[in-house]
Structure 1
Amino acid sequence: MTAPDPSTTMADPSAQVAEQLLRLTRKLQRAQKRYLDPIGITPAQARLLRALSHHDRESGPPRMADLAGRLEVVPRAVTTLVDALEANGAVRRVPDPVNRRVIRVELTEEGRQTLRALREARRGAVEEILAPLTAERRAALGGLLAELLGGGPAPCGD
């Protein structure tokens, strides 16, 4: 596969916007990683913790399969993430009260503290990225992104 011709990319506004979005995504991921490193958590583990925090409280802790579906990953990936988070004390596996073959995953108090630190890290990373923009331009960007995402909030795992 060959690299796109820069002269074509610059002449095509859609291609230019696509490239800018990709570059912005990478920049945000790098910033978030810098903020997550001191917490001792990976971006994938952070996504799982956020998914747990948004799970329907009335149905009880989610099953591993529920988490895999919500995160759009294979169940084995969730097992690996839960293993690491359980070793750190952020989550615990609990038996399903109705079906003993089913394992559910719940946040611990340590996990809730980690989530608070994650929210602060995410805010810091976003603030770093958005620093050059005025409040009005941030609002305009937010409106444009919401429109591109279909008007709804981003999934919790993203």
Structure 2
Amino acid sequence: MSQPKPLPTDPIAEAHRQWTAHGWGPVADGMAAVTSLMRAQQILLARVDEVLRPLDLTFARYELLMLLLFSRKGSLPLSRIGSLLQVHPTSVTSAVDRLEARGQVRRLPHPTDRRAILAEITEDGRATALAATEKLNDTVFADPGLPDSGVRDLVELLTDLRRGAGDF
């Protein structure tokens, strides 16, 4: 995977130093934590995008395919997809449109609720989801950039952050 040329110094450490020097020392650690987390998200998303791009997938469309793949019937109401993925209904519609155009998902009427539409994964969608997962497992998830104990610690810390924010 191609990576950008590393910077000569850590800009977040420099921002922390500047925060402290300008009298914001009490919140400098929080600023560094938030900024570090956002930069880490950018780095990981770039790695994921590099793997998914040849499959003509975005991470959002990959997540949708996996959600349908893991569902009991291979289908879910669009409103439930939005709730589970925590995205706006417009984003769900857009992702389903793209996947439907590629033959990986199809829309179906809900069998008991005339107002609802189901998204159902197709065989092509299943094959794409599994191929993407295999590539992500091999290149990103197997080595997210931390030792195993660091990965577990990070997951615990982020779980605490998410719980505290009312994520679940």
TM range (shorter): 0.7 to 0.9
Question: Deviations for 1:34-85, whole angstroms, at most 9, x for unmatched residues?
Answer: 1001111112211211222333x26x72111111222222222212211110
Give how far 1:33 is off.
Answer: 0.6
Deviation above 6 Å: which 4+ runs of structure 1?
none
Gaps of 5+ in 2: 1-11, 163-168
Q: How many residues align?
A: 143
Structure 2 length-normalised TM: 0.70
RMSD between aligned residues: 2.9
> SS where residue 104 of structure 1 aligns?
strand
Name the larger-Rg structure: 2
Q: Which structure has the higher relative contact order (CA within 8 Å, separation 6+)?
A: 1
Unaligned residue ranges in structure 1 (runs of 5+): 153-158
Q: Distance in 1 between matches of 2:132 and 2:29?
A: 35
Contact 1:28 1:126 in 2 (8 A): no
1:48 matched to 2:64? The reply is: yes
Task: Return the alpha-carbon distance in structure 2 between the equivalents of residues 101 and 14 of structure 1.
Answer: 45
- Opposite residue 132 of structure 2, the aligned amino acid is L
Q: SS in structure 2 opposite 1:106? A: strand
Structure-1-length-normalised TM-score: 0.74
Q: CA deviation at 1:92?
A: 1.1
- Percent of matched pairs sharing the same residue: 30
Out of 115, 136, 161, the position equivalent to 1:122 is 136
- Aligned residues of 1:93 and 1:106 also touching (Cα < 8 A): yes
